[in-house]
Amino acid sequence: MSMRVVLVDDQEMIRMGFKMVLNSRPEIDVVAEAGDGDEVLDVLAQHEADVVLMDVRMPRLNGIEATRLIARLPDPPKVLILTTFDLDDYAYEALRAGASGFLLKDAPLEELAAAIGHVHDGDAVVAPSTTKRLLERFTRPEPRDQEAAALVHEPVRDERIFEELTPREHEVLRQVARGLSNAEIASELVLSEGTVKVHVGRVLMKLGLRDRVQAVVLAYETGLVAPGGR
């Protein structure tokens, strides 16, 4: 079965371009479009979707708030944020809102198609090094400006949620939050890559998280790790 995709962008020409290139892939089917975040819930009520490609900056309802609303749906589709800049001021908040990752709008078709596939399969599409760089810039005590501050209204979760983790799972989570891949964590902790994968899976299950991006965000939010630290 093909992956059902919904495009959300306020610029019609951009939606047309994405639709044309994505429908050229046999594994992808663009089933619907929305002109802004305010329309996307109505669209999703009418069309079953696996992945939503979401622009960040849109009129009426921005991509962050739209992502937050989608995440509250029963059995919601995955959300892949599309940004104009590699370190878009809103990308971090989009991840907090429930997005599975982000990608540049000018990414090559192969990269975009692969990202949709990864998100569809439940993985994060943000590379570990990019995740670390993004979080080190945006995980700060205060938002960068008033507009960003208006988007930050979810409380930081209590670090006691980590009490169910074993010492080894704590350590694996710290390494994930540093932006390390499973192979790098295996080398760092002298474990097999398969064992690391099992530990990461248990961490996600115990913390009720969807993917490693959410795990990284949670680790920074609760102070388990600090930007730039170990």
Strands 101-104 and 78-83: parallel
pLDDT band at 145 (very low <50, low <70, confident <90, very high): very low
pLDDT at 224: 81
For residue 34, the cross-strand partners are 8
d(Cα 20, Cα 119) in Å, to the nearest integer? 20
Q: Does some domain include residue 142?
A: no
Number of independent structural domains in the chain: 2
Q: Are residues 108 and 211 in the same domain?
A: no
d(Cα 42, Cα 101) in Å, to the nearest integer? 23
**What's the predicted TM-score (pTM) here?**
0.67
Mean of the per-residue pLDDT values of the chain:
81
Q: Are residues 8 and 62 in the same domain?
A: yes
Q: Are residues 100 and 194 in the same domain?
A: no
Q: What letter represents residue 163's amino acid?
A: E
CATH code for the domain of 38: 3.40.50.2300
DSSP for 82-126 reads: EESSTT-TTHHHHHHHT--EEEETT--HHHHHHHHHHHHTT---S
Residue pair 125/214 in contact by the 8 Å Cβ criterion: no
Q: Are residues 180 and 113 in the same domain?
A: no
pLDDT at 50: 96
Least confident window among 3-12, 98-107, 109-118:
98-107
**Is the confidence at residue 185, as pLDDT, over 50?**
yes
Q: Record the tokens describing residue 1, joined without a space.
A: 């079965």
pLDDT cut 70: percent of the chain above it = 79
Q: Does some domain include residue 145?
A: no
Which has the higher per-residue pLDDT, 83 or 37?
Answer: 37
Tokens 């192969």 belong to which residue? Answer: 110
Could you tell me which residues come within 8 angstroms of residue 173 by beta carbon, excluding any fewer than 6 positions away? 162, 165, 203, 215, 219, 224
Instruction: Give the other-Cβ count within 10 Å of 114's Cβ.
Output: 14
* Domain final residue, candidates 101, 135, 169: 135
Closest Cα partner for 52 from 107, 1, 88, 94?
94
For 69-109, write each residue's pLDDT tens digit. Answer: 999 999 899 999 888 766 556 666 777 788 888 888 888 88
pLDDT at 15: 93
DSSP, collapsed to helix, strand or coil, labels residue 3 as strand
CA count, 13 A, side-chain hemisphere, 169: 17
For residue 194, the cross-strand partners are none
**Is the confidence at residue 172, as pLDDT, over 80?**
yes
**Is the confidence at residue 182, as pLDDT, over 50?**
yes
What domain range is 39 assigned to? 3-135
CATH code for the domain of 213: 1.10.10.10
Q: What letter represents residue 105's amino acid?
A: K
pLDDT at 131: 59
Highest mean pLDDT among 38-47, 88-97, 122-131, 177-186: 38-47
Q: Are residues 124 and 195 in the same domain?
A: no
Q: Are residues 26 and 71 in the same domain?
A: yes
**Is the confidence at residue 52, as pLDDT, over 90?**
yes
